[in-house]
Amino acid sequence: MKLLLRPAFLVCLAIFSANQVLESNKVFIPFIHSYADDVCALPVLLTLASAGMALVYYGRGSLERTYRLSFLQVLFALVYCSVVFEVVLPAYAARYIADKWDIAAYTVGAGIFYLFINPAKAQQIS
């Protein structure tokens, strides 16, 4: 699928993966540690969701076709992640910390997905 080869997706995936490797080796770069995963999470998740939707909708025989997520679908993902990770989880587990800047980072990530990854011309499931 060409969607998985878009440069913005690959950059977000590389940053996300590199940050996870650094953190697993106990290397923490303050700004990167705090916000890189939050910026990259929605572009990675929404690209995989879009690729999955294309696969389900069009079947394996049409790997060249893409599925465009609507603005409302992207907005829903943004609100959902913001509520779960910044409201619900911090209320129930001390290891999670609510941070309004994380919501800003999710918003930047949603914008990156919508503007640079989400295919401009594709069929949508009605």
pTM of the complete model: 0.87
Tens digits of residue pLDDT in 15-57: 999 999 999 999 988 888 889 999 999 999 999 999 888 888 8
pLDDT of 111 over the 60 cut: yes
Q: What is the rounded CA–CA span in Å between residue 74 and residue 98?
A: 22
Residue 68 Ramachandran class (φ > 0 left, ψ -120 to 50 alpha, else beta): beta
